[in-house]
Amino acid sequence: MKRAYLIAGLALLPLGWAMSGQGMTGHMAAHMIAVAIAAPLVAIGLQHTRLDPATRWPRLAAPLPAALIEAVVVWGWHLPALRRLADHHPGWLILEQASFLVAGLLLWSAVLAPRHRAAGVGALLVTSMHMTLLGALIGLAPRPLYMHHGADALADQQIAGVVMLLVGGIAYLAGGLAMLGRLLQTRDEAMA
C-alpha cells in the first residue's frame, strides 16, 4: 500500500512541471502539487524506510524546524525577483520546484513520525495559516506583483492566489485535523 502512495506522489510531479508554464495560475498549481499533494504522498510511501527523512535526519525533520524551512522556501520563492528568475531561467525553475518538493517532503515526513504527533498537528496548522495568508496576499493585491505574466497579470495572479489559498490551506488544515484525530484516538485508547 505504501508503494502506491509513493508512485502516486512521483507520478504527480510531471503534471506539475507541465502546468508550471501556464502563467501564474499554472505555476501556483505546480507549487501546490509539489509541496501539498505529491510531498505528503511520497512521505507516506517512504515512511519507516531507510529513505524516510524523519529517520535519516531526525533533528532537521522535526515538525517545527521543518515547518520553518518550508515557510522560508514558500515565501522566498514568491518574492517577485525570485519569481522572475524561475519564470525566465529553466535552471532556477528546476531549483524552485525541487526545493518545494524537498521542503514539503521534510515537513510531511516530520509530522508523520509517530514520536511527533502533537508537534506535527501544530506544525501543519501553522503551515495552513501561512499558506492561507500568502494566498490571500497574492490574490487580493491591488496590482500585479509579478508583471512578467502578460496582459492579464492581475487576473492571473488573483486566480493563483485562490489556488494557493484553497489547495495549500486545505491540504495542511486537513492534514493537521487528521493528525489531531489520530492523536486523540491514541489518547483514548491509552486511557481505556
Give the closest residue to 74 by CA, choosing from 42, 48, 51, 106: 106
Cell 532556477, located at residue: 92
Q: For residue 182, give every residue at least 6 positions away whose Cβ sits within 8 Å of its Cβ, in sequence order, or none.
A: 117
Number of domains in the chain: 1
pLDDT (mean) for 80-95:
88
Cell of 75: 515565501
Helix axes 90-112, 23-32, angle to 10 degrees: 30
pLDDT of residue 104: 95
Taking only the tens place, the pLDDT of each residue in 120-173 is 888 998 999 999 999 999 999 998 887 665 668 889 999 999 999 899 888 988
Please give the single-letter amino acid code of residue 60.
L
The Cα diameter of the chain in Å comes to 62
Q: Predicted confidence band at 75 (pLDDT cuts at 50, 70, 90)?
A: very high
Cell 486566480, located at residue: 159
Q: DSSP label at 37?
A: I
Taking only the tens place, the pLDDT of each residue in 23-62 is 889 989 999 999 999 999 999 999 988 899 988 888 888 8
pLDDT of residue 105: 95
Q: Distance (Å, rounded) from C-alpha 170 to C-alpha 81?
A: 28
- What torsion, rounded to 10 degrees, do the Cα atoms 147, 148, 149, 155 define? 0
Q: Distance (Å, rounded) from C-alpha 108 to C-alpha 69?
A: 12
Cell of 110: 516530520
Q: Is 142 exposed, middle or buried (0-12, 13-18, 19+ CB in 10 A)?
A: exposed
> What's the domain range around 20?
2-191
Q: Distance (Å, rounded) from C-alpha 186 to C-alpha 130?
A: 28
pLDDT of residue 142: 92
Q: What end-to-end distance do the CA atoms of the chain give, in Å?
A: 30
